[in-house]
């Protein structure tokens, strides 16, 4: 049995004829609805866990693809489909991009906001200008404050992606907590 993992989301297991005999399975009999096939898959994943020295949850979301090999073996591709929440991107989230002439204007904006729930990603052009990508906010007072200290670039994914590509990230989840007096 050869076990390879080109990345954290993919495990490739090559079984030769002897491995198939040892596991008491054939390519033709592999069917995940069969309890014996599931036993074999769990056994293979257990060996992969030991060899790769990392946790593999066979009860998680997993895509399994099998390709037959000559002489009675097969290759099994396991793709782990559980994506951590920190990596997931919400493609429907509306974003707004605001440009500031200085870091002082960014700080002044956050100091003027009474609610401290506004966070965003702060970017710089390394020439003194800053852009803040923030989730869409319907509050009129927030929009007025933003226009007082910055220029709206545009709303939407395109404006945010252009900023992410051409500007330099300075702070993720940027926000300034202000104490009410």
pLDDT tens digit string along 71-126?
Answer: 889 999 888 776 555 444 444 457 889 999 998 988 888 777 765 556 688 899 99
Per-residue pLDDT of 10-69, as tens digits, reads 899 999 999 999 999 988 888 888 899 889 999 999 999 999 998 877 666 788 888 898
CB 81 within 8 A of CB 8: no
Quick one: pLDDT at residue 158?
83
**In the predicted model, is pLDDT for residue 132 greater than 60?**
yes
| Other beta carbons less than 10 A from residue 18's beta carbon | 11
CB 97 within 8 A of CB 121: no
Instruction: Report d(CA 37, CA 43) in Å as an integer.
Output: 10
**In the predicted model, is pLDDT for residue 4 greater than 70?**
yes
**In the predicted model, is pLDDT for residue 136 greater than 60?**
yes
The stretch 127-154 carries a mean pLDDT of 80
User: Is 114 strand, coil or helix?
Assistant: coil
Closest CA to 151 of 96, 94, 84: 96
CATH fold for the domain made of 95-174: Alpha-Beta Plaits (3.30.70)
Quick one: pLDDT at residue 86?
46
Quick one: pLDDT at residue 83?
53
Quick one: pLDDT at residue 156?
72
Q: Cα-flanking dihedrals φ and ψ of residue 34, to 5°?
A: -90, 130
Quick one: pLDDT at residue 179?
43
Domain boundaries, given as residue ranges, for the chain? 2-80, 95-174
Quick one: pLDDT at residue 15?
94
Quick one: pLDDT at residue 44?
94
Per-residue pLDDT of 162-181, as tens digits, reads 899 999 998 877 665 444 44
């Amino acid at each position: 049995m050869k076990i390879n993992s080109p990345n954290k989301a993919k495990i490739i297991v090559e079984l030769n004829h002897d491995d198939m005999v040892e596991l008491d399975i054939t390519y033709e009999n592999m069917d995940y609805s069969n309890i014996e096939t599931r036993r074999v898959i769990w056994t293979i994943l257990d060996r992969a866990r030991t060899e790769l020295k990392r946790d593999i949850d066979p009860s998680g979301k997993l895509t399994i693809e099998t390709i037959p090999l000559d002489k009675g073996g097969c290759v099994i591709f396991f793709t782990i489909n559980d994506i951590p929440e920190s990596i997931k991107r919400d493609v429907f989230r509306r974003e707004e991009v605001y440009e500031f002439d200085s870091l002082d204007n960014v700080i002044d904006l956050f100091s003027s906001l009474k609610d401290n729930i506004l966070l965003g990603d702060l970017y710089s052009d390394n020439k003194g200008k800053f852009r803040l990508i923030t989730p869409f906010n319907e509050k009129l007072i927030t929009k007025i404050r933003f226009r007082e200290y910055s220029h709206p670039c545009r709303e939407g994914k395109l404006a945010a992606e252009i900023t992410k590509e051409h500007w330099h990230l300075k702070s993720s989840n940027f926000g300034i907590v202000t104490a009410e007096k």
